[in-house]
């Protein structure tokens, strides 16, 4: 489920293209209308099931907008 959310809201790398000596990562994410609307995220982001089906994210998680830190720092101080 985390991979689905990362792809839908972030920009998950799915492949790489090579043009001459240059390599470019190709990332995939949902359109802005879905990413900026909690209701659209809950309804439109589909989570794969082990039996091959899918369910909307709202059936397996609570989706809401909340205030949080503007950045997250990890690692040792």
pLDDT in tens, the chain (77 residues): 788 888 788 888 889 999 999 999 998 888 888 788 899 989 988 999 999 999 999 999 998 888 877 766 666 55
Structure token digits, residue 74: 């990890």
User: Which H or E run contains 15?
Assistant: strand 12-19
How many CB atoms sit inside 10 A of residue 41's CB? 22
Domain ranges, ordered by start, for the chain: 2-59
**Which burial class, exposed, middle or buried, applies to 45 when counting CB atoms under 10 A from its CB (0-12, 13-18, 19+)?**
buried
Of the candidate CATH numbers 1.10.3330.10, 3.30.420.80, 3.30.70.270, 3.30.2090.10, the domain formed by 2-59 belongs to: 3.30.2090.10
Q: How far is the C-alpha of 24 from the C-alpha of 77, rounded, in Å?
A: 33
Looking at residue 20, its pLDDT comes to 94
């Amino acid at each position: 489920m985390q991979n689905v959310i990362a792809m839908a809201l972030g920009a998950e790398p799915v492949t790489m293209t090579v043009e001459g000596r240059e390599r470019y990562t190709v990332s995939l994410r949902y359109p802005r209308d879905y990413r900026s609307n909690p209701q659209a995220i809950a309804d439109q982001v589909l989570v794969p099931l082990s039996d091959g089906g899918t369910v909307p994210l709202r059936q397996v998680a609570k989706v809401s907008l909340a205030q949080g830190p503007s950045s997250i720092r990890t690692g040792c101080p």
